[in-house]
Amino acid sequence: MQNKEFILDIKRLGINGEGIGYYNRKAVFVKNAIPGEGINVRIIKEMPKMDIAEIVEFKKLSKDRVEPACKYYERCGACQTMHIKYQRTLELKRDLVIEAIRRYTKLNPLSFEIKKTIASDEIFNYRNKASLIVRSDKGILTTAMIEEGTNKSFAVDKCKIEDSLIHEVNSKILKLGTELKIKAYPNDDFSLRYIVTRVTKSTRKSLVCLVVKEFNEEIKKFSYSIVAKNLCDSLYVNINPDLKSNEIIKGESLFIGGEKYIVEEICKYKFKLFPSTFFQLNTNQTEKLYEETKKACKLSHQERVLDAYCGIGTISLYISNLAKEVVGIEYNKESVKAANENAKINKIKNVTFKQGDTAKVYKELIKDGHFDVLVFDPPRTGLTKELIDMILDSNARRIVYVSCNPSTLAKDLDLLTTKYQIRYIQPIDMFPNTSHIESVTLLDLKK
């Protein structure tokens, strides 16, 4: 069937932004295809349960098709839906949640409310952090991305979804690096690997972390020159010689100069940001996400709330003014340290943070008292079976599940709904021009 051509009607969008149609009862995935289109496709890869095809010719174009705003769109792969009108992507992302419920649960998605996706005010220049490869093109340092489907990098002068301040800061630093003849890939003896830059919306501050193979004299001179010329507000260096690892920042980073941290403000709350701090990438949309989370909690100043996978305490602090007590659990020690500092700078005293594995810490916490509301914002892998079993035994009145992965959300809901009832799911578009979708699900204990 390899290279076979046929007409395919695109029925829905896949989780990675591809169009999906069916041929001889087998799913066929087509990059850059839109539901509703009829396309002459060619099979380029056969697999047992699905095939991958490429577009040969359009027979019927979608009215929602637009010209991508980025010249790197076809090569880069970081964005997947830039060829679709934004309003239509909001509908398609809601459909991803519905499809996950149908596929991974015994639930009927019509038996509870799945609300319309909350749009982002900004669809470009919203991303507040970028981790970019640094490469040398004829001695000139540039930022680079990995070409989709390969392990090869290519130069990218500016990304459409990153905050413009990231580009401004990176350009100045790499211009200095070029002047100092700093070596980057593909030089055999290169030391500079990545530039990780995060910026704040409220104060317009920048924090940069240079990721290097070794902190040699060349890098030391480069780093101290960046600080001397005030090219960013805070500078760190991370030494990561492991070229095979996908982890960019590894271990502790060395503080070089400027401010120790930068501060972002959401609503009235302040949060300290360091190189490896987890923080939502779309600052303006984060306030909407946390507002939806707070609304779902339905707090009345009487509740004891658990905030699991709390990171630097963002949700914990955001809901604290309506709770009697909030206890956050986080595995990362640095994040717990930052969470405690954030509570201090916001003068919040009814929140405490515990470090460790979520299930183990939760097991100890419930010995001291019952939680009325459980808030979960887990990684893409979702909740563990051990934790779900403990939740089902807890009889907490309410669960608020913040998810970044519809598939794992659906699998977890299939187990949680043996004792809890879904009231609604609220999708939120945190990442315009990509296929990613966040959501807030409210579950109440069945009577």
Contact 329, 361 (CB under 8 A): yes
Whose CA is closest to 90, among 409, 429, 402, 425?
Answer: 429
Please give the Cα distance from 58 to 41 (Å, whole number): 9
Whose CA is closest to 159, among 262, 72, 248, 45?
Answer: 72
Q: Is 198 exposed, middle or buried (0-12, 13-18, 19+ CB in 10 A)?
A: buried
Among the listed residues 76, 79, 310, 404, the single catalytic one is: 404
Helix axes 385-394, 406-416, angle to 10 degrees: 40
The bridge status of strand 262-266 relative to strand 254-258 is unpaired
Strands laid side by side in the 304-308 sheet: 113-114, 420-428, 438-445, 398-403, 373-376, 304-308, 325-330, 351-355
Residue 412: partners with Cβ closer than 8 Å, 6 or more residues away: 382, 383, 388, 401
Distinct helix (H) and strand (E) counts, the chain: 10, 22
Question: Is 404 one of the catalytic residues?
Answer: yes
- The first and second tokens of residue 164, run together, are 């413009």
- Find tokens 């104060």 and name the residue: 203
- Where are the strands (E) in 370-436, listed by range? 373-376, 398-403, 420-428
Instruction: Classify each residue of 423-439 as buried b or exposed e, where b means 16 or more C-beta atoms within 10 Å of its C-beta.
Output: eebbbbbbbbbbbbbbb
Show the DSSP H helices in 155-249 as ranges. Answer: 164-179, 217-228
> Diameter of the chain by CA atoms?
69
Contact 284, 265 (CB under 8 A): no
Catalytic residues: 404
